[in-house]
Amino acid sequence: MNAIKSTWNYAVITGASSGIGYEFAKQLAALGTNLLLISRKRKELMNIKFEFETKYGVVVDFLDVDLNTHDSYQKIEEYITANDLKPDLLINNAGIGAFGEFLNTEIDKELEIIAVNINSLVFLTKTFLRLMLSNNSGTILNVSSTMAFRKSRYWAVYSSTKSFVLSFSRNLSLEYENSDVIISVLCPGKTQSSFDSNAKVNLNYNTTKASSSKVVAYTLSQLMKKKTLIIPGLNNKIKYYIFKYLPEFITNSIIRGI
């Protein structure tokens, strides 16, 4: 068991079966945090439960639900209530994308992206924020992207959902700044995961991808410091300020060259 004690007793993580979500679960389990893991992939969740309970001695619960449906959000809320759980960390990590020119992408897929990336996140944020405020303690981390800083070609819907996540989280952070709940947003750049293959990216960006373990370790260290905007990596921080302060005609030229 890691010598550092976790800040949190019980964490709920969406999109927890792979990528950044899995890494959050792993590092939190190593710190002694009990977990409720949410994903569509039941087999992977069962394997993670066995692995983490055996290795780290924590309690790992899971729900295999599809966050594309409103019923799934309610199932999560009902599970928390029925088991009298008191989560003090929510990580809204689940996210999907589709790459391609807008008129060539499927509308059903884009509506699914909005449902998973926005609808489920808003519902769960409201549900868990209410619980955390009643318990006078908690942290909510919403996972956005560096795409939220700028325009993006071939990612019209996905990029827009991540812009929403960033704005939504920043607004709530201000709204509840005098409460005992921290609302934070993570904006990672390209990170090692299956996201690009799932989104059917067919261009070679020649972009170095950050290690998910390093992204998560940095994020947890910033959450422990109660940071509300977390941008891992110097290059990503530079991008944030470039797109925030440079004139649009310059940033448009930069985007065209990506």
Q: Among all residues, which ones are annotated catalytic?
A: 158
User: Which ranges constitute the DSSP H helices of 67-226?
Assistant: 70-82, 107-114, 120-135, 156-175, 195-198, 212-224
152 backbone φψ class: left, alpha, beta (φ>0; ψ -120 to 50) = beta
* Distant-in-sequence, close-in-space partners of 84: CB < 8 Å, separation ≥ 6: none
CA distance 248 to 258: 15
Residue environment code for 117-141, b if the CB has 16+ CB neighbours within 10 A, otherwise e: bbbbbebbbebbbebbeeeebbbbb
What one-letter code names the amino acid at 125? T
| Direct distance between the N- and C-terminal alpha carbons of the chain, in angstroms, rounded to an integer | 43
Evaluated on CA atoms 190, 140, 35, 222, the torsion sign reads positive
